[in-house]
Amino acid sequence: MKRKVTKMALLTLAKRKEYFKFLGLGEYNKENIKKLQKKYFTRSKDIDGIYGQNTDYLLRHVYNVKKVCKNFEPQEFKCECGGKYCTGYPTQMRATELYNLQTIRTHFGKPMRITSGLRCRGYNNSLRGSSSSSKHMQGLATDFYIAGVTDSVARRKSLISYLKTLPNFDYAYGNGWCSLGYSISASYMGNAVHIQSKDGALPTAKKTTTAKKTTTSAKATTTDIGTKVINFASTQKGKYKSRTNHGKDGKPYSNKFTKYFAGKGGINSKGEMPKTYGYVAGYCTLFVVYCLKQCGSPVADELLKNLNSKAKGYWWHSPSLMKYYKKKGLLKTDWSKAKKGAIVFKGSKSPTHTCLFDKISGSTVYTWDGNVGGGVTYNSRKKSAFIGYVNPPYK
């Protein structure tokens, strides 16, 4: 069956010049086109200094990777047919897909191996388990491996719930689980996970040129960080199963979460929460700050510094956190104004617990909690169970 191939018009001359400049390729001329081809193309017959469809795909691809990714090189996405059917760059990796890959790379902070990126039709059809309409052929899908993140069904399941929070997300699967929420068998994937995105606009921050625009941008960031924090908290569901006694037995929790705090913010080098200052550090408070930190909120660093101040009278637990915010005048009680991701305080006069606000429905408040039922869980309580909240961006 012959398939319709919709070819993209070649980049305008102005764009080619702009991309050449951005990539440091020098002037746009035959010699430099040849240099670009030589760097990436597999077959010598494709290195001709002529700007045609193949070179257009290559230039778009290299530009997208360099523009969107700080941890990936264009070659990591090369089609693996080895020149049998294509130049190695049968199309471009799309910016939305690259953006998500970079987000994943940054989120886990570990080396990420691209096991399959671009594919020409010939190569795709030669692969076991590949779909004849695979998004790898459109630069919208990638298979990747991260040690400790993709190498068991349980880990892939947890990873996929995180992937679903990414912008323009379309579909993901690995052996044992898929993003549609059910188990699938795909042993040919080994320990890799496939993620695909929709083509579209990147969620880049708007440029701030006027005072008015700055306000709009700040507002957008406000919404973003709260949503980000809640999305992240939801990916931690069921994690950090541990005792809820805040380490009163003096033993470390010894998991990834408390290890993160080891040696900082009042946690000792073993990740223990010591009974200093008459209190033991509150696991719930740490979880809240951990989520803020993982989502890039600068407030996390501010809290890490201030909640470890015996002199100022703050310690790692809910009463200190609430006191800290009350003093700043940021503690609110009108639930109609609570935003996604708000830090909420449970209790009557003095809080006994802190968690993250997802939504309110009627008089029921829904939250993500770090240490309820022995781990990270989603909970609902009457709003009368809470004292108040602090909206994002928490400052």
Which residues sit at the interface with Zn ion, rule CB under 5 A? 79, 81, 85-86, 120, 123, 141, 143, 194
Q: Which is nearer to Zn ion, 76 or 272 (CB)?
A: 76
Rounded Cα distance between 314 and 302, Å, is 13
How many helices and strands in the chain, by DSSP H and E? 11, 10
Min separation Cβ 183 and Zn ion, Å: 18
Tokens 């083509």 correspond to what residue?
199
Cβ-contact 139, 61 below 8 angstroms: yes
**R_g over Cα of the chain:** 25
Strand partners, 356: 343, 368
Least distance (Å) from Zn ion to the CB of residue 147?
Answer: 19
Q: Which is nearer to Zn ion, 103 or 175 (CB)?
A: 175
Our measurement of the distance from residue 334's CA atom to the centroid of its chain's CA atoms, rounded to an integer in Å, reads 31
Q: How far apart are CA 231 and CA 247, in angstroms?
A: 27
CA distances from 335 to 231, 309, 366, 387 (A): 21, 31, 12, 10
Of 64, 67, 40, which is closest to residue 54 (Cα–Cα)?
Answer: 40
The minimum distance between CB 347 and Zn ion, in angstroms, equals: 49
Of the candidates 348, 370, 165, 157, the residue with the CA atom closest to the CA atom of residue 258? 370
Minimum CB separation of residue 172 from Zn ion in Å reads 9
Buried b (16+ CB within 10 A) or exposed e, 342-366: bbbbbbeeebebbbbbbebeeeebb
User: Residue 121 or 381: which CB sits closer to Zn ion?
Assistant: 121
What residue has token string 């408040």? 365
CB 94 within 8 A of CB 195: no
Q: Closest separation between CB of residue 113 and Zn ion, Å?
A: 13
Q: Would you tell me the crossing angle of helices 211-235 and 153-163 to the nearest 10 degrees?
A: 160
Pick 81 or 98: Cβ nearer Zn ion: 81
Q: Between 187 and 384, whose beta carbon lies closer to Zn ion?
A: 187
Cβ closer to Zn ion: 78 or 346? Answer: 78
Residue 193 or residue 307: which is nearer to Zn ion going by CB? 193
- Whether 143 contacts 130, CB under 8 Å: no
Say which residue the tokens 């994937």 belong to.
Answer: 189
Nearer to Zn ion by Cβ, of 132 and 333: the residue is 132
Cβ proximity to Zn ion: between 43 and 327 the closer is: 43
139 CB neighbour count, 10 Å cutoff: 27
